[in-house]
Amino acid sequence: MSPRQVVTGRALTGSVVVLPAILGVLLAGGLFNGVHLAAWQWAVVTLTLWLGSLPFTLLGIGNGYRLTAQTTGVANIACNLGLAVLGGLWFPVSLFPDWLRSLSAYTPTNRFAEIGVSVTAGHAPGTTALAVIVAWAALFGTYAAVSYRRSARTV
């Protein structure tokens, strides 16, 4: 199998594993936190968040092929934590200095959040948000494929 096929298969498997977590968060929002959306919004936000999680799945796959079993989990947590902070998920982006605010707009976490917010507000996600997510998915997919090739040579 080619590296692209292996990474695609792993990404599909990883995406299946992510879906229950997304559904659990949305279910908690609807049942316990008073989130009220139209049926189409629930469906679209589920689909967009599921597809938007692809870059993070690919990053984890790349780290898994590149790093040892002991360091992969730590690296994935560090990467996702760093992206969450830079993307404005922990602190409002408005508190960032101008240069960091500009950088934040190009992180997958910032645009991932934007996609969810826009759908729940009844708007289609912006093309820039989708383009940034696709670009990060391509970058992390390439990282995963290169890491797979490298790991195959060391076995």
* Successive 10-residue mean pLDDT values, the chain, 155 residues: 92 94 96 94 93 96 95 97 96 95 97 93 93 97 96 69
User: Where do the domains of the chain lie?
Assistant: 3-154
Q: What is the pLDDT of residue 73?
A: 95
Q: What is the pLDDT of residue 1?
A: 86
Q: What is the pLDDT of residue 60?
A: 96
Q: Are 89 and 109 in contact (CB under 8 A)?
A: yes
- Residue 150 has which token pair? 């490298």
What 3 state SS string does 49-61 have? Answer: HHHHCHHHHHHHH
Supply the pTM of this predicted model. Answer: 0.90
Dist. CA 94–CA 111, nearest whole Å: 15
Q: What is the pLDDT of residue 99?
A: 96
Dist. CA 149–CA 155, nearest whole Å: 10
